[in-house]
Amino acid sequence: MGRAAALLVGLAIATSAFAQGYPNRPVKVIVPWPPGQATDLAARIVADKLSHSLAQPFLIENKPGAGGQIGTEQAVKATPDGYTLLAASSGPISIMPNLQKVPYDTLKDLAPVSLIAATPFALVVHPSFPAANAREFIALVRANPDKYTFSSSGTGATAHLFIELFNSMAQLKARHVPYKGSAPALTDVINGQISYTLETVAATVGHIKSGRLKALGVSTARRTAAMPDVAPLADVADLPGYDTAGWIGYGAPAGTPREVLVRLAAEVQKALQAPDLRERYVALGMEPVWNTPDDMGAFLKREHERYGQIIRNANIKIEQ
């Protein structure tokens, strides 16, 4: 055996041994959002499970700011030893790089581990809106270009892009009214000042149950457990292929040993299959999802391209 081959074998053995002994100290999970936000909640629930299954603390560290850029940059530039993870999400990973310059390349600087949650959205209107269902809604808005308005949590936000995709597929022309956050965007739909919006099931389900909002469909191709009586827009709005959800996942700095990524992904899958975790997710309006590091990597590429296409088609720009 040549020296180079011997070095490669030795490296493989050392890496495998490292993975088998991993983790042997606490693992930091950077959440680039404040406590209580969806990414934070999903990351904490999974981290708690990993702490038990891997017998080491998985410690959440919130690093909010700049729409998720600050914490994301810190995580992807950390030492790639498996002891710093990122609670990644669609905003700073898939959307923002298509809208502005960011201090990282998420397709190169992030080593995918696994998805951990999907956040379905719901199309909602005021109960007095003159449409009994999604098809009637589309027919009415389509017949009255620019008469109706839609709100979002901000220009370029996930909700904004989901609505632009919906409008495009349904051939609707309506006026966008951006807000600073989901709460005010929903409030003005509840007050009847805005015609419609697409917002997370978590944010809308309480208002729907109380009768303050009417749901016309969910954004995912399948019904969601948190809102089982509401059918997918792909079906009820006759929009085959409309299947959107925010995503949350675990990632690590590029260069993290593959064996560590694979082990973490396997443990995440076990955690997400626990009945008590699913119950907690449903209460939060989320769905447990998981995949392998390779599959998540392919998913991130598709999402990057998908959001980029929506942004270009709708000519969405944000102030720098």
Distance CA(126)–CA(215), nearest Å, equals 9
Q: Is the pLDDT of residue 13 over 60?
A: no
Length of the chain in residues, anyone? 320
Domain check: are 169 and 195 in the same one?
yes
In a domain, 15, yes or no: no
* Alpha-carbon distance values, 259 to 5, 266, 268, 298 (Å): 20, 11, 14, 18
> What pTM did the predictor assign?
0.88
In a domain, 14, yes or no: no
- Say what the pLDDT of residue 62 is: 97
Q: Dump pLDDT digits (tens) for 161-200.
A: 999 999 999 999 999 999 998 999 999 999 999 999 999 9
Distance CA(291)–CA(263), nearest Å, equals 12
Tokens of 239: 């929009």
Helix, coil or strand: residue 245: strand
Domain check: are 229 and 274 in the same one?
no
pLDDT band at 7 (very low <50, low <70, confident <90, very high): very low
Q: What percent of the chain has pLDDT over 70?
A: 93
pLDDT band at 103 (very low <50, low <70, confident <90, very high): very high
CB 177 within 8 A of CB 151: yes
Distance CA(49)–CA(276), nearest Å, equals 11
Domain check: are 178 and 278 in the same one?
no
Instruction: List the CATH number of the domain containing 125.
Output: 3.40.190.10
Contacts (Cβ under 8 Å, ≥6 apart) of 159: 121, 152, 153, 182, 185, 197, 198, 199, 200
pLDDT band at 318 (very low <50, low <70, confident <90, very high): confident
- Say what the pLDDT of residue 320 is: 55
Q: Is the pLDDT of residue 14 over 50?
A: no
Domain boundary among 198, 218, 236: 236
Domain check: are 177 and 134 in the same one?
yes
Domain check: are 125 and 86 in the same one?
no
Domain check: are 114 and 124 in the same one?
no
Distance CA(281)–CA(117), nearest Å, equals 8
Q: Dump pLDDT digits (tens) for 278-311.
A: 999 999 999 999 999 999 999 999 999 999 999 9
Domain boundary among 236, 268, 303: 236
Q: Dump pLDDT digits (tens) for 130-172.
A: 999 999 999 999 999 999 999 999 999 999 999 999 999 999 9
In a domain, 177, yes or no: yes
What is the separation of C-alpha 165 from the centre of its chain, rounded to a whole number of angstroms?
Answer: 16
- As a whole number, the mean pLDDT across the chain is 93
Tokens of 61: 């560290």
Distance CA(204)–CA(214), nearest Å, equals 9
In a domain, 41, yes or no: yes
Domain check: are 103 and 129 in the same one?
no
CB 111 within 8 A of CB 251: yes
Cis peptide before 23 (omega within 30 of 0): yes
In a domain, 79, yes or no: yes
Domain boundary among 236, 256, 291: 236
In a domain, 16, yes or no: no
Q: Which domain holds residue 219?
A: 120-236
Q: Closest by alpha carbon to 131, among 62, 216, 255, 193?
A: 216
- Say what the pLDDT of residue 18 is: 54
Q: Please say whether the dihedral angle defined by the alpha carbons of residues 11, 28, 49 and 67, taken in this order, is positive or negative.
A: negative
**Burial code of 235-271, b = ≥16 C-beta within 10 A, e = fewer?**
bbbebeebebbbbbbbbbbbebbebbbbbbbebbeeb
Q: Dump pLDDT digits (tens) for 240-255.
A: 999 999 999 999 999 9
In the chain, the number of structural domains is 2
Domain check: are 129 and 69 in the same one?
no
